[in-house]
Amino acid sequence: MTDNTSRHEADRVTDLELGDDIVATLRAQLPTVAEQTVAAVTVEVPGYAGPLSGTRGEDIEKAVRIALGAFLRLAVRSKHSDPSAPLAPALDAAYDLGRGEARNGRAMDALLSAYRVGARVAWRELSATAVTAGLPAVTMAKFAELLFAYIDELSAASVTGHADELATAGRVRERYLERLAQNLLAGQPDEILVSSAERANWLPPQTLTAVLLPEAQTRAVVSRIDHRTLQLVADLPGIEATEAVALLLVPDADGTNRPQLLRILKGRHAVVGPARAWMRVHSSYHRALRGRGLTVADKLDVLDTDAHLAELVLGADAEALQDLRRQMLAPMAALPAATADRLTETLRSWLLHQGGRDRVAADLFIHAQTVRYRMAQLRELYGGRLNDPRTILELTVALAIPAPATTPPPSPPR
């Protein structure tokens, strides 16, 4: 745990000449100093208030004993010896102490306060012994410098251990959260999902909503939504690996919360699935996935699948829709393409406007008399079928979504 900086610091501050008698006296005093240090910490540091018991108490007392012993070995080492030998055990113990605090969800404030209290108690007791032994003032000054530099080294080692543990724990939890999201998409059994949530220390919401959006947009969105949001950026079912698409599973974005989510996503090229019970969010994901295939006006902004249910239903079986369209437009198959397109456009508007001639004319920017003429042509082609409810239903479904520009005109029957 000793880096170059700590070695240079130790070399700079250690130039003590202590006689064997004072060394023996200091060494004999270490158990008492350790006991007094631990007692002072339990009284003065709120985070360690009360008797230290269990693993935590054992770790603190062990670290104090190791630290004091290492300090004395450092103080009496020969001037040109390697300081890493006495420093290493104490620094390793301090590092482990920092990791233990992080592992138990505690910040570093209490531990750093404990180091300050420990330094004061150790200096008070050890310096009293040194003064009694007649240690010169210059040596006392160096002794103090060494002690407080040493405490700085221990504090830095604990801070590093704390940070390393947080980073490691964070990576592990991220993997657990990713696995939970993958299990949700796979529609795993409830017991597996509950176990995955517990392992990831993730508190399940009432609902989850699937959101697909460009990976580059996730950071800006996640910072503004529920911190429990699950994220996946790789191995998304139904999406090519080459596409930079991310998935967010957003908690409790239903009801009155949905408009807020849509506002956050505005302009981010997102597709939003429906809210589903959290263990059933795979259905929201598949809805959002189908929503990516819709050709609607706001596709480049944010597509709310709840606002396009008819298009999703009609597009559920694209081949069946094309077959129905071809079948229902068969009476116009022998007409010139331009004529068939005009009549198809008029028929669609007539169906959607429930036969209102003026509304059809306004919709198509044509004269009402032109609508009358075209509808006369259509009635001649279809005969009485335009009065049949079943035919009206099938024509409405077939023409509800305008055909893509690439769709060829209906082929004449053989």
3-state secondary structure of 414: coil
DSSP class of 341: H
Q: Which residues neighbour 154 within 8 Å (Cβ) at sequence distance 6 or greater? A: 67, 90, 91, 94, 115
pLDDT of 353 reads: 92
Q: Looking at residues 13-37, what average pLDDT do you find?
A: 73
pLDDT of 43 reads: 83
Q: Looking at residues 298-313, what average pLDDT do you find?
A: 82
Query: Cβ(144)–Cβ(71) under 8 Å?
Result: no
CA distance 405 to 66: 80
Mean pLDDT of the chain: 83
The string of pLDDT tens digits covering residues 77-134 is 655 555 555 678 888 888 888 888 888 778 888 888 888 888 888 888 888 877 887 7
CATH superfamily for 318-399 is: PucR C-terminal helix-turn-helix domain (1.10.10.2840)
Domain residue spans of the chain = 4-169, 204-314, 318-399
Query: Cβ(409)–Cβ(340) under 8 Å?
Result: yes
pTM beyond 0.85: no
Q: Which residues neighbour 180 within 8 Å (Cβ) at sequence distance 6 or greater? A: 193, 196, 197, 199, 200, 202, 230
Strand partners, 302: 270
3-state secondary structure of 194: helix
Q: Does 4-169 carry CATH code 1.10.238?
A: no
Strand partners, 246: 213
The string of pLDDT tens digits covering residues 26-35 is 778 778 888 8
Q: Looking at residues 26-50, what average pLDDT do you find?
A: 79
pLDDT of 18 reads: 67
Q: At what angle do helices 4-13 and 84-103 cross, to 10 degrees?
A: 130
Domains 204-314 and 318-399 agree in fold: no
The string of pLDDT tens digits covering residues 239-269 is 988 889 999 999 999 999 999 999 999 989 9
Give start and end residues of each alpha helix (H) in 223-308: 258-265, 281-291
Residue 334's identity, in one-letter code, is A
Instruction: Give the CATH architecture of domain 204-314.
Output: 2-Layer Sandwich (3.30)
Q: Please state, in angstroms and as integers, the Cα–Cα distance from residue 399 to each residue in 168, 321, 329, 338, following that order.
A: 57, 9, 9, 17
What token pair was written down for 389?
């409810």
